[in-house]
Chains A and B, each alone.
Chain A
Amino acid sequence: MATEVIMPKAGMDMKEGQIIKWKKKEGDYIEAGEVLLEIMTDKVNMEVEAETSGYLLKILYEEGAKVPVITPIAYIGERGEKIPEIEDKAKVTEEIEEAVEKEIVQEDIQVATNVMDIAGKVRATPAARRIARERNIDLTKVKGTGPKGRIQKADVENYRDSIKVTPLARRIAKMEGLDLEEIKGSGHEGKILKEDVVGALRSKGIADYDALDERTEVIPMSNVRKIIAERMTESYFSAPTFTLNTEVDMRNAIKLRQDVKDIILKETGKKLTINDIILLATSRALMKHPFVNSRLSDDNIILHKYVNLAFAIGMEDGLITPVIKDAHEMSLSEIVVAAKDLQERAMKKKLSPDELQGSTFTVSNLGMYGITYFNPIINQPNTAILGVSAIVDKLVKKDEEITTIPVMNLSLTLDHRVVDGVTGAKFLQDLKHLLENPLSMLI
C-alpha cells in the first residue's frame, strides 16, 4: 500500500495550508527526509519533507491549492503500486451526498406543508418542546424528521448545530431577508461565512454585496489578517488596559551605538540599531519587574523568570511577532544577531511556528515611520506591550541656553487586571534609566 503524504498541521491555529511548490514531479524518486514540497501556512512558508522513500506516485493537489490540514495531498510508494482511488471515492461520495440532499430537500418540502397543517401550530413532541424551551429555540424554525413532520428531540438538538454563522454573515442575511437554512456554509464545520451569504445573494440576482462598482474593491481577508483580527479583538475586549508614556533622553544610547556599532559589525556582520539597544534594555528591566513580564491564567498570575521577547514586524500582508528566546541572558551582539536573523527570515516567510510562540513581553517600534506617540494593543497572553516611537530633537533649556536633545517616547500598555499604574511606572522608570545610562547595563 502506498504511503500518503498529508498537509501537515503546524501550529494550533492552522486550518489549511496552501501548496506553493512541488519540488518533485509524479514518477520522481524521493528519499526520506528530502524536501517534497513547499507550503504556506497562516504565517510562514514551510518545507515539507518526505517521511518515506519511494516514487512520487500521485500528486492530488496542484500548486496554489488550499488544502485543509491532515488531508492527503500525495502518495509515495513503489512503482506500479496501487493508490487508493481517491478521485473515484470523492465522486461517489459526492453523488451519494447529492442524492441524499435531493431526498432531504423533497422531504423538507413535504415537512414544511405538514408542520403547519393547523395554522400557527407546530407538531412537536414534549421532549422536543422542552429542549426548545431550555435553549430558547423557535420551533417554527426547526424541521421535523419524525412521522408527519413531527419535530423530535434530535431535530431540536441538531438544529443548534446546524446553523453556525459568523455575526457579519448573519447580519447581511437578516438585512436581505435571506433564510440561513438555505445557505451552505463553507467555513469550519459548515460555518456560514460572509462569502457564502454573498454567494447566495449573487445567485439570487442580488449582487449588491459583490464588487459594488468599479470604485470599490472587495478583498477577502487572508488567513494572517483573520488571525490578527481574532487575536486583537480578543485582547482588546478581554483586557482592560491603560497606557503610560514617558520621554527618554537618547543621547547616551545614540553614543553607545556610535561607539560599538563597528565592533559589532565586524564581529557579527550585522548592523546594530537603536532598536537592539532598546530590546536589550527592556529584557534587563523586565527581570526586575516580573509582573510586567507575566501572564494571566484563569485566577493565577504566572510570573516568568526569563524573558522571551517578541518584537513586531509589520509586513505588507500583516503583522507577525517573532520571539527572541531567553533574551535576558543575551549580550547586545547576541540580541543583534537573533533579531536580524528573525527579521530576515520573517521577510522570506521562513519562520517556523515555534519561533512565533511563547513570548512573555512584546516590543512594537514605529519609530522609523516618524510616529511620536501611539497606543499599542497587548499581544495576548502577555500582560504588557511597549510601544517605541521616533527619536526627535526637543528644545531644552540648559544653563540659560536653549539647546536640543534627542528624545524618544515610550508607551507602555498594561493589562490592569494584572498590574496597576505604579508597577508599570516603576518599570518604565527603570527602563528609562537604563536607556539614559546604558553603561549601567554592564553592571
Chain B
Amino acid sequence: MHPALSVIVFTTLSGIGFGLMTLLGIGLGAHDLAFRWTAVVLAFAFTVIGLLSSVLHLKSPSRAIFSFSQWRSSWLSREGVLSVLTLGVFGLYSLAFLFMDMRVAGLGIAAAVLALVTVYSTSMIYAQLRTVPHWATWLTSAAFLCFAAAGSLLLLAALLAVFGAAGARQTAQYALVALVVAWAVKALWWRRAARTTLDSAGSGIGQATGLDRIGTVRPFELPHTSPNYLMREMAFQVGRNRARALRRVAVLAGALLPALLVLLALVTGPLAALLVIAVLVHLGGMLAERWLFFAEARHAVSSFYGVQ
C-alpha cells in the first residue's frame, strides 16, 4: 500500500494524543498549573494535528462533513464521530481541570473510554480490510492501542519530569513496561505478517483470476502501459533492503533507544532531559514503524498485476 505521509502522521499523532487524554482522564498527572496547561494543550495538539492531517488525504475535503453520517456501517465514519465526541468530552473535562484544578471523575472516565474506543476504531479502518491480509488481524488493533499507551505514558512522564511534578519516576516505569508490551505485540504482528501472503489469504494471482483451475498463472501483458491509480495506491512496492533498514530504524528509535534512555533517566541522569529526548526519538521510530505498516502491506489487487 502507498505510504501516504498524511495517514502516517494521522495514525501516529492521534494515537499519542488520545492516549494522553486517556491518562489525564483517569486522573494521572499533577496539579502544577504549567503542567496542566502544557499537558492539555499537547493532548489537543497531537489529536487535532493528526485529524487535520487525515483530511489532507482526502481528494474532496469540502465534503468531509458527510463522513459523520455512516457510523452504522463504516469504521472510518465511527472514527470521525468518536474523535469529535472525545475532543468535546475531554474539552469539558479540561475546563474544570485547567481553571478550577478540579477533576470531574465522570467526565474524565468518559473521555478516557471514548479516547480508547477512538484509537480502536482508527485501527479497525485497517484491520477490517480482508483485501490487505497483513492488516486483517486483531493484532493490528492491539498494536495501535499498545503503541498509543506507550507513547502517551512516555510523553506524560517527560512532562511530569519537566515541571518537576511528583510521579514522574513512576510514570516512566509504566512507560517502560508499556514499551516492552507494545513491541512484543508488534513482534507478533511482524511474525504473522511474514507468514501471511496473498496466496495464503486466497487472493493470489490464481485465485484472483480463477484461472488456477487450469494451471499456473502469470501475467502476459498488462492492461495499460504506464502505472494507474490502482498500481500507485495498491501495488506499491518497497525495496527489500530499504524495508530492512527501516525496520532497524523503527526498532532502534521506537523501542531500544527510548527504553535505554528511560532506564538511564531512572538510574542516574537528569530525568527531564533524557525523557524528552526519549519521547522525540520514540516518535521518529513510530513514524518509521507506521511507514512500514503501509509500505509492506500487500493488497489483493496487486495480484492482477502480478505483483506479489
Bound together:
no
Which A residues form the contact surface with B (CB < 8 A)?
none
Which B residues form the contact surface with A (CB < 8 A)?
none
